[in-house]
Each structure stands twice: as structure tokens, then as C-alpha cells.
Amino acid sequence: MLSVIVPVYNEERTLAEVVSKLLSLDIDKQIIIVNDGSSDSTHREIAKFSGLANIVVINVEQNRGKGNAIRQGLKTAKGEIVAIQDADLEYNPDDLIKLVGILMEKRAQVVYGCRFCSDFETPLWHEIGNRILSILSSIIYFRWVKDMETCYK
């Protein structure tokens, strides 16, 4: 089973689309939506999905950041494979199938996504900063990492 943690903070505009895309994935899955103290109508969007069997909703009263939201989701995850999906649709949930396939075929123990391996457009200064961090991470861990700041891990 794949557990997908979706940390959300004020994502009323994109949440329904990202959850719908995750639901359409042809894989046994658990979707964990962690509402990190949103102050907009995100809670109304979450309510549309809260009755579904494979969706777990965690509400954090006060915004404590993405890292805390992910930790809360990890406590609930039941899947052998866990992925993080940002609710802003920077990443297409369909790409999770490719990443999960690599893990299921036992070709790797960990898989990272890479925004620079596609047509993804980012401001130049973001790309330069990310590449510097990726090179430093590669040196520290003796593994080549192309996109250290990617959400898909």
C-alpha cells in the first residue's frame, strides 16, 4: 500500500484537484490530509472527502509548519511506501506511479523526484540555490542528488 501525506495550509483552490488526482491513481492507497491550521476555506474542501474509506484527515489547530504536518502524517501512515504530495500541484500526482514502480521493483530503497529532469520552470535564483544545496548534499552523503529541495521523497 502507498500512503500519501498531503500537508495543507490555505490550499482551498487546489486541494480538491490534488485529492481527486490521488484518488484516481491505480494503486492501493491511503491519503492522509494534514490541515496545518488553515485560515481560509480549506476545511470545507477537506470535508468533501472526509467520509471516504481511504482518506484520513488530521486537523492541527495552529500552523506549525510543513515539517510538523509531515510528522503528524507519518504517525498515521500504514503503507509500506510513504510519499509526500504538496497540495499546490507543483508536482503532478500521476508521477507518483513512476516513483512507486521503482521501489516496488526493488531497484532502490529511496526515490527522489526531480523538477529539473522535465519541463518544469523555476526562477533562475531558485534553480541556482537548489543546485548548490543538491551538490553539497551529494558530497555529504556520497550519493548524487539532482534536486534536494524536491517534495517527492
| Sheet containing 55-60: order of strands | 55-60, 29-36, 2-8, 81-84
pLDDT tens for 96-140 read 888 888 778 777 666 665 555 555 555 666 667 667 776 777 677
What does DSSP say about strands 55-60 and 81-84: parallel, antiparallel, or unpaired?
A: unpaired
Query: In the chain, where do the E strands start and end?
Result: 2-8, 29-36, 55-60, 81-84
Residue 13 has pLDDT above 70, yes or no: yes
What value does the mean pLDDT take over residues 3-23? 96
What tens digit of pLDDT does each residue of 17-74 get? 999 999 999 999 999 999 999 999 999 999 999 889 999 999 999 999 999 999 999 9
| CATH numbers and ranges of domains, the chain | 2-104 (3.90.550.10), 113-153 (no CATH)
pTM of the model: 0.76
pLDDT score for 88 = 87
DSSP 8-state secondary structure symbol assigned to residue 140: H
DSSP sequence for 72-94: HHHHH--SSEEEE--TT-SS-TT
In the three-class reduction of DSSP (H, G, I as helix; E, B as strand; rest coil), residue 99 is classed as helix
The per-residue pLDDT for 151 is 46
Strand-pair partners of 36: 60
**CA 19, CA 39: separation in Å to the nearest integer?**
19
pLDDT of residue 36: 97
Q: How many Å separate Cα 131 from the centre of its chain?
A: 20
Instruction: Indicate if the pLDDT at residue 75 is higher than 80.
Output: yes
